[in-house]
Amino acid sequence: MKVDIDIDEKTEEVITNFILNTFENKNLTEFFKEIIKDSLDRLAYPSIKNEVRNIYTEKAEEEAINIFSENLEKLLLQPPLSKKTLMGLDPGYRTGCKMVIINKDGFYETNDVLFLVDGVHNERQLATAKKKILDYIAKYDVDIIAIGNGTASRETEAFVADVIKDSKKKVSYLIANEAGASIYSASKLAIEEFPDLDVTARGAISIARRIQDPMAELVKIDPKSIGVGMYQHDVNQKKLNETLEQTIEHVVNNVGVNINTASWALLSFVSGIKKNVAKNLVDYRHENGDFKDRKQLKKVKGLGDKAFEQMAGFVVVPDSENPFDNTIIHPESYHIAEIILKDAGCKVEDLKEDLDVVRQKLQKIDLEKIIKENDFGRETAKDVYEALLKDRRDPRDEFEKPLLRSDILNMDDLTEGMVLEGTVRNVAKFGAFVDIGLKNDALIHISEIAEKFVSDATKELSVGQIIKVKILSLDKERGRVGLTRKGL
């Protein structure tokens, strides 16, 4: 950014005369004028330029960091495709496409290498790859194929789209953003998780599992490496890291964590849990089996009363004998829940045996009376009551699920005016990049986002959002597509 000051002669004369009034010796006026001009040109103006530039640079940095933070939050809040068996494909030309199977519970099953790029691999290799994919789909009951968007991704997509037509089971696919997968695959965490696998297999696992549960997988990667920010290397790194870490903590605590399935990387972002304690939690789980209830957390090395108090409400134990352990109700408020249930003529164990009947009885109680009689905090008691009435809510359920495809799209299929659905991959002040199924994401400029005037694209669109768009322009030679939302 360049800053310049353009002052006309009249204004400069006013400034000079203003300064001259401070000098008493009028015999040296011309000499003073030369001093003033030299001071302005050599000292004052450059200083003002630097100060103005610093102000705007700081403002631009803050804006870039905020956009990065907002995009990261929306990416982490993408709804998981839980209880789906996935085939993860990390495409490649010479070395082939690395394939892994991740079962519906998120566990790794097997891996293979497929040579499936038409024009690079021979007919025998292509036929073998097709047979293997169909066999793996049948054997592991694959629901979705996740294809990394790196080198050879569109060739892999074309092959997969053709193969799944011959599958006896209905299978969909999607193109996954593989940014950061290679960084994860070589990390200490990946080696700890999969010590017997090579980096290519670990990368394919990351691609598949970030579709199955984006938040749980993406927290393992440096957020600067997952492709949702701009100019991240040009801004204040300390401030950027602090902001992104706060964003991840906010999302993780808002969603909640299953203590028996979470990695130490995910647990380390839960309020009150430091990295060493997060590792201790996972180690304890490996040595003693799944946690039976929240109270058992206190047995973990390094997890004191204060840490337990901070983190208990953000972690759940789904299979605990105490049904409160699978709610957002904090252990300190269990007695409130028990009294509310007692007033409804129910016991804690009834929540497991006949939840619907319990909730019907709860709707008939006088909560205000209970609050007054027991001197409970009104807001705390209301939160406990709501938690008893409703299932634990995952805020990610409010967002649109990823767009699944069953056939490929290329530039020749497009015409101006065609209406499509696409997924927003990145948002900046000037517009958004949308995946409509082509090799490269298409741009929707800020001027085409809405019929009304839009000053900031980030206020209208968010990462992961599925939107309807219309083809505004096509440049087939350069492979560029312009989009609009006007008229839809």
Query: What is the domain partition of the chain in residue ranges?
Result: 9-76, 86-212, 250-396, 418-484
What CA–CA distance (Å, rounded) separates 146 from 349? 42
* pLDDT category of residue 25 using cuts at 50, 70 and 90: confident
pLDDT tens sequence across 363-400 = 999 999 999 999 999 999 998 998 898 877 677 777 77
Give the predicted TM-score (pTM) of the model: 0.74
Comparing CA positions, the residue from 225, 239, 291 lying closest to residue 261 is: 291
Across 26-30, 150-154, 203-207, least confident range: 26-30
Return the HEC string of the chain: CCCCCCCCHHHHHHHHHHHHCCCCCHHHHHHHHHHHHHHHHHHHHHHHHHHHHHHHHHHHHHHHHHHHHHHHHHHHCCCCCCCCCEEEEECCCCCCEEEEEECCCCCEEEEEEECCCECCECHHHHHHHHHHHHHHHHHHCCCEEEEECCCCHHHHHHHHHHHHHHCCCCCEEEEECCCCHHHHHCCHHHHHHCCCCCHHHHHHHHHHHHHHCHHHHHCCCCHHHCCCCCCCCCCCHHHHHHHHHHHHHHHHHHHCEECCCCCHHHHCCCCCCCHHHHHHHHHHHHHHCCCCCHHHHHHCCCCCHHHHHHHHHHEECCCCCCHHHHCCCCHHHHHHHHHHHHHCCCCCCHHHHCHHHHHHHHCCCCHHHHHHHHCCCHHHHHHHHHHHHCCCCCHHHHCCCCCCECCCCCHHHCCCCCEEEEEEEEEECCEEEEECCCCCCEEEEHHHCCCCCCCCHHHCCCCCCEEEEEEEEEECCCCEEEEECCCC
Q: Which two tokens stand for residue 89?
A: 């494909």
pLDDT digits (tens, 9 = 90+) for 399-448: 777 767 766 667 777 888 888 888 888 888 889 999 887 777 889 999 99
Domain 86-212 CATH (choose: 3.30.930.10, 3.30.420.140, 3.30.710.10, 3.40.50.720): 3.30.420.140
* Predicted pLDDT at 408: 61
Closest Cα partner for 72 from 458, 487, 360? 458
Is pLDDT at 26 greater than 80 in this prediction? no
Tens digit of each residue's pLDDT (9 = 90 or more) over 469-485: 999 998 888 888 899 99
Class of domain 418-484: mainly beta
Q: What is the mean pLDDT of residues 36-65?
A: 88
pLDDT in tens, 280-297: 999 999 899 999 999 999
Q: Return the CATH class of domain 250-396.
A: mainly alpha
Spatial distance between the Cα atoms of 117 and 111, rounded to a whole number of angstroms: 18
Tokens of 385: 């009551």
- The listed range with the strongest mean pLDDT (32-36, 163-167, 324-328) is 163-167
d(CA 143, CA 172) in angstroms, rounded, equals: 7
pLDDT at position 194 over 70: yes
CB 348 within 8 A of CB 341: yes
pLDDT of residue 230: 65
